Amino acid sequence: MLGRITLNPLPHVELFGSVILPATLLVMKAPFLFGWAKPVPVTYNNLKNPKIDVPLISIAGPLSNILLAVISGLGIRFISAIPDFEAGFGGLLEQFLYIMLKVNVTLSVINLIPFPPLDASKVIAYFLPSSVATIYLDLMDSNPFLCMIILFLILSSGMIWRFIYSVINFFVTIFSGVALF
């Protein structure tokens, strides 16, 4: 109904998240590039038990990132176990899998920060009393740009990245056997 089941990327472009923010980060020579596409809408009326179903839907993204990270890590371990293959084409494949591993671990870790609009915010809401959860989730709906500004400030903080890097390094090392830093 929204016209987004297509290979054409244009229906997925969200002006601020797909164009303005990434361009700004590039111009500012930020140490990271961040952006997003239009979010996939969830029709809550179609859910049998929204209190349980919403967190399950929200955790699907980070879990798929973790699954892809595990597959990448296993591929790295497999390639490194065959030195002759690693010396040739396997080395290029190993580099690709390592990048894929780092990206997916990073995406899952960031999406598990419990702040709207990130996925973990809806998971955390499951554990909050209904009245508090409603206020917490309405924060994004009523002030989306305020939430994005606060999230940008949080992610721009050197202090939070020390923690995020250590978590990313831990999981990259566990999955691949190769330390990131």
Structural domain boundaries of the chain?
Answer: 60-176
Residue 19: pLDDT band with limits 50, 70, 90: very high
Average pLDDT, the chain: 86
What integer is the mean pLDDT of 72-92? 90
What integer is the mean pLDDT of 173-181? 82
What percent of the chain is modeled with pLDDT above 70? 98
* CA angle 121–126–129, rounded 5-degree value: 110
Residue 74: predicted pLDDT: 95
pTM for this predicted structure: 0.78
Q: Which residue has the tokens 């809408």?
A: 41
Residue 69: pLDDT band with limits 50, 70, 90: very high
Instruction: Write out the H or E segment, with its range, that includes residue 36.
Output: none
Whether pLDDT at 62 is above 90: yes
Whether pLDDT at 150 is above 90: no
Whether pLDDT at 179 is above 80: no
User: pLDDT for 21-57, tens place per residue?
Assistant: 899 989 998 877 878 888 777 787 888 988 889 889 9
Residue 181: pLDDT band with limits 50, 70, 90: low
Closest CA to 1 of 46, 62, 35: 46
Residue 4: predicted pLDDT: 77
Whether pLDDT at 75 is above 70: yes
User: pLDDT for 116-132, tens place per residue?
Assistant: 778 888 888 888 888 88
d(CA 167, CA 120): 16
Residue 70: predicted pLDDT: 96
What long-range pairs does 95-100 form, CB within 8 A, spacing at least 24? 97/72, 97/73, 97/176, 98/72, 98/176, 98/178, 100/68, 100/69, 100/72
d(CA 68, CA 65): 5
